[in-house]
Amino acid sequence: MALANRNLVTIDDLSSGEIEAVFSLADKMADSMDEQFGVCRGKIMASLFFEPSTRTRLSFETAMHRLGGNVISAVDIGATALAKGESIADMARVVGSYADIIVIRHPWEGAAKVVADYAGVPVINAGDGGHQHPTQTLCDLYTIKKERQTIKGLKIALWGDLKYGRTIHSLIFALAKFGANILFCPTPGLEVPENIIKKLTTEYGGELEKYEALDQADKRGLFPLDAIYLTPGSPHQLAMMPNVSIQAELKTGVDALYVTRPQKERFATAEEGRELNKRYPVVDKRLLKGKVFKKTLVMHPLPRVDELAYELDADPRSMYFKQAAFGVPVRMALIALLLGTKEVSILKEDFFPQIDYPLYRRGFGVRCPNPRCVSIQASETKYIKPEFKIVNRKPLTLRCIYCEHGSEPKYVASSDWHEGRLANKKYHSAGSHWARKIKPENLIIFDSESEAEAHGFKPSRYARAHH
C-alpha cells in the first residue's frame, strides 16, 4: 500500500509495516544526506504552528529544506485570518491551494483532522492539544529500534504527566502495536485518561493490571508504579502473575524510561492550584542507580523543565538529544513518502486490524463533552457536525471522531417511533435495554432530558431506569 497522498493525523493512520518502511527510508536518507536535495524540488510545505514549538517546527522545516523543497509558514494565530473568526476548514482549503503538503500544530484537539478533511493535500499532525503527536512517536520508536533493534517484548515505562502529554497518548498505541509491555508511572492526579485505556485494551488486546499494592514499592528499591499493560504476545504465565511476581519480573530491568514534563498549559484551574510540582517525580542519577535502570534508555520528547536532571546529559543511557536529532531523517522520509516522491515496499501489515465501529452522525442531541475539542468551538460549529463512533452498547459509549474523547450519554430514542402514533415518540435511559435494542441506524442519542423533549420526545417508563 503506497503512502502517497495519505494523511498522518493519529498514529493509527500507519500500520506497523508502514512505520517500519518509514524507518527504512530514514536510515537510507541519514546515510546519504547530501544526495537527498532533489527529492522534493519544486514542492512547497506549509508550516502552520499555532502553539509554541522549537524542535518539531524546525525539524520539519529542516527536513523539507534538506529535500530541496520550500517552506511557507504561519506561527501566530493572531497574525492570521483565524483571529478574525475564519474557520479552520476555510483556512485548510486556501492553504491547500498554495502548498503540496501541510504540517499543523493547533491547541484544539481534532483540529488536524479538520484540516485533513478539507485541505485536499497530505496533512501531518504536529500536535493537536492534548490529543496526539504522531511524528514525535515515530522519532521515539525509531530511537528505541536503533538502540535495541526491536520493540516487541520490551518493557517501556511512561513517567510523569500521562493525562495531558499528547506524545504519551500516541506512544501508548504505537508501543501496543509493536508488542511492547507498558509500565504506567504517572504523577498522582495525572493518570492516563480512561478513553485511552479503553481504546488500548479493546483494540490492541492484552491486559491492563492495576498495581495499587506497588505504590510504596520504591521504598523497596522499585519505582512507583500505577499499572502495567501486558501485550497479547506476553507469556501466559507473566500475564497471570500476582503482584509479587510482577515485582520480580520488573527487577530484570526496564528497557526505556520515557519522561514527560507537566503540561501546565493544559491543566484545568483546579489542577493548577494543587501544586503538582511538589509531587512531580524527578529523574536523576539517584533514581537511575537502581538495578532496574542499569541498562535503561532515558527518553524525553523535550522541552524539559525540572523533571529531568541536567546531570544525566552526559550519561550514556540518555537518549533525548538523539531523539531530537532523529527528527530530521524521520520527517524527511515521511514527507517524501506522503508526497509520493519516494516509494518503499511495505513488508508486513498490522497484527491489529482496526475495528469498524458504527458511526453516529445525526448532528443534534449530543455534543462532545471535551472543552478542547474542535467540534464544539464557536467558529467551527457552522460546518462541523458532532460525529462519534459507537464503541460499546453496554454501557452505551461514544468516541468523538475528532478528539477521540469517550463519553457515556444519558438518553436514547428511536427514529422508528411513529407507526402513525405520536404517543410512541418516547425517549429512554441509556442504561435501559433500549440502548442495545434500537438498531444503530435508528438510534437517536441525547445528552439531557431537555434536549430530548426539545425534539418532541416524551419520557418512557424506562427514562429513569439504569441497569
**pLDDT, tens digit, for every residue of 250-303?**
667 899 999 887 765 444 544 454 555 455 567 888 888 878 888 999 999 888
The Cα-based distances of 276 to 93, 194, 259, 447 in angstroms read 41, 20, 16, 33
Share of the chain above pLDDT 70, in %: 83
User: Are 113 and 387 in contact, with CB atoms under 8 Å apart?
Assistant: no
Q: What is the pTM of this model?
A: 0.89
The Cα-based distances of 336 to 63, 104, 425, 447 in angstroms read 10, 17, 55, 44
The Cα-based distances of 102 to 45, 57, 73, 80 in angstroms read 6, 12, 10, 16
pLDDT at 195 over 90: no
Closest CA to 150 of 23, 39, 36: 23
User: Are 211 and 243 in contact, with CB atoms under 8 Å apart?
Assistant: yes
Residues 31-46 have pLDDT tens digits of 999 999 999 999 999 9
pLDDT score of 301: 86
pLDDT score of 178: 93
Considering the segment(s) 11-131+324-339 as one domain, its CATH architecture is 3-Layer(aba) Sandwich (3.40)
Instruction: Considering only residues 239 and 321, tell me which one the structure prediction assigns the higher pLDDT.
Output: 321
What is the arithmetic mean of pLDDT over 316-334? 93
pLDDT score of 274: 52
Reported confidence tier of residue 307, pLDDT bands at 50, 70, 90: confident
The structural domains of the chain, with segments of one domain joined by +, span 11-131+324-339, 135-323, 359-459
pLDDT score of 244: 47
**From 32-46, 148-162, 216-230, 381-395, the region with the lowest mean pLDDT:** 216-230
Identify whether 409 is preceded by a cis peptide bond (ω within 30 of 0). no
Q: Dihedral of CA 253/326/48/137: which sign?
A: negative
pLDDT score of 248: 55
Q: What does 411-427 look like in DSSP terms, one character per residue? A: EEEES---TT-GGG-EE
User: Are 233 and 178 in contact, with CB atoms under 8 Å apart?
Assistant: no
Spatial separation of the C-alpha atoms in residues 449 and 429, rounded to whole Å: 9
Phi first, then psi, for residue 26 (nearest 5°) are -60, -40
Instruction: Considering only residues 137 and 228, tell me which one the structure prediction assigns the higher pLDDT.
Output: 137
Spatial separation of the C-alpha atoms in residues 29 and 67, rounded to whole Å: 10
Reported confidence tier of residue 397, pLDDT bands at 50, 70, 90: very high
pLDDT score of 233: 64
Spatial separation of the C-alpha atoms in residues 47 and 102, rounded to whole Å: 6
Q: What SS3 state is found at 400? A: strand
CA-based R_g, the chain, Å: 24
CATH number at 135-323: 3.40.50.1370
Residues 128-182 have pLDDT tens digits of 998 999 999 999 999 999 999 999 989 999 988 888 888 899 999 999 999 999 9
